Amino acid sequence: MRFSDPRLEPIWEKVRASERLSPENGLTLFETPDLLGLGRMADHAKTRREGERVYFVINRHITPTNVCVLSCAFCDFARKKGQAGAYEHTIEDMVGMVRAEVREVHIVGGHHPDWPFEYYERVIGAIRAAHPGVQIKAFTAAEIDYFWRRWKIEPREALTRLKAAGLQSMPGGGAEIFSPRLAKLLRYNTKAAPERWCEIHGIAHALGIRTNATMLYGHVETLAERVEHLIRLREQQDASGGFLTFVPLAYQTGTTKLVPRQTPPTDSLRTIAVSRLLLDNFPHVEAYWVVIGEETTSVALHFGADDVNGTLEDERIQHMAGAQTPAGLAREQLLRMIRDAGKQPVERDALYNVVQVWN
């Protein structure tokens, strides 16, 4: 492989030898002008793991409520109780949202001021009872931490009870980006700190609950802060081993406008590629099509991503923040997105069991 940036050559030697990259390597990869060289290295790392396979899942996002006690500066979604646009779904509403063909439900919502922990247990139990075949991925580490802050239920107890009710895995949100500077600046220092977020994922892994991890990028963070975030996730994976997928989340400007416009596709491609190369112990890196769009997602499948997520009807959080991609993309469209990239679509369930390999 030839590179226009000679700084990539020693990194490529490490990648070829499956050696771990350093934080300094990570920063070089974020800074290099040789985007295509970076992409080829990430594609090599992805292909070595998964060949031409790219995964998708038919899933349904449920956001029980947008009522939230917090006011994170990047969030267009949250409302205060009684404010215009605030909503609270009933358990019956939520059970009714899950259609027969759905394999995974993904449940994330606001930090509600009054709903007791038992309500969340009942939500999981009711979906499990009505749809025994569906896999339930629910509650970020920030929400699990909030159950402690609000109701004094320790994360181990909360996760044990939720697992007994039917929860099988956890999404990766709530971490935003592990930086005390940004947590203060963007007003998310009142939710789970990095140590707490990692602790809760470690507890989940010990209980046999697989989890994801995310990073909110493309706002006012520095490249060094992105690298620190990724290295911290890598360390946690070394310690507890239960992460399945890393999902980089591009900040949506919506009405919060921390920056004038969404970060460009080249930055999303770069972030996905660097993530694939630094997170050598994560099985999967996702191109989240709802946020970055179909076209960028197709290209990202050549930049280290091996997953495009799912159908995501009613993906309220991203859409209220102004994501342009229409919700409810059907399986045919997911297949097209993957085939357009020249890759092999593989339909999966929440735990990456193969449902069907498509031609």
Contact footprint for ligand SF4 (CB under 6 A): 68, 70-72, 75, 77-78, 110-111, 191
Q: How far is the CB of 194 from ligand SF4 (least distance, A)?
A: 15
Q: In this structure, which amino acid lies at residue 59?
A: N
Q: Which is nearer to ligand SF4, 196 or 336 (CB)?
A: 196
When the beta carbons of 21 and 323 are compared against ligand SF4, the nearer one is: 323
State the nearest-atom distance from the C-beta of 112 to ligand SF4, in Å: 10
- The length of the chain is 359
Comparison of 128 and 191: residue with beta carbon closer to ligand SF4: 191
**Shortest distance in whole angstroms from residue 78 CB to ligand SF4:** 4
| Nearer residue to ligand SF4 within complex by CB, 78 or 134 | 78
Q: Provide CB contacts within 8 A for 270, sequence distance 6+.
A: 29, 30, 35, 38, 303
CB-wise, 139 or 282, nearer to ligand SF4? 139
Task: Yes or no: say if 310 and 349 are a contact pair by the CB < 8 Å rule.
Answer: no
Give the nearest distance from C-beta 341 to ligand SF4 in angstroms. Answer: 31
For the bound state, the minimum distance from the C-beta of residue 187 to ligand SF4, rounded and expressed in Å, comes to 8
d(CA 242, CA 223): 26
Residue 277's alpha-carbon distances to 18, 199, 267, 282, 303, in angstroms, are: 10, 24, 15, 10, 10
Q: How far is the CB of 188 from ligand SF4 (least distance, A)?
A: 6
CB of 264 to ligand SF4, least distance (A): 24
Indicate the SS3 state at residue 299.
helix
The DSSP secondary structure of 259-280, one letter per residue, reads: SSSPPPHHHHHHHHHHHHHH-T
Nearer to ligand SF4, 251 or 303 (CB): 251
The set of residues, in sequence order, having a beta carbon less than 8 Å from that of 46 and lying 6+ positions away, is: 276, 285, 304, 305, 306
Name the CA dihedral angle for 237, 238, 240, 243, rounded to a multiple of 10 degrees: 20
Q: Which of 123, 98, 126, 128 is nearest to 112 (CA)?
A: 123
Measured from the CB of residue 181, what is the shortest distance to ligand SF4 in angstroms? 17
β-bridge mates for residue 61, sequence order: 106
| Neighbouring C-beta atoms of residue 152, cutoff 10 Å | 9
Q: Which is nearer to ligand SF4, 63 or 298 (CB)?
A: 63
Q: How far is the first Cα of the chain from the last one, in angstroms, to the nearest whole number?
A: 30
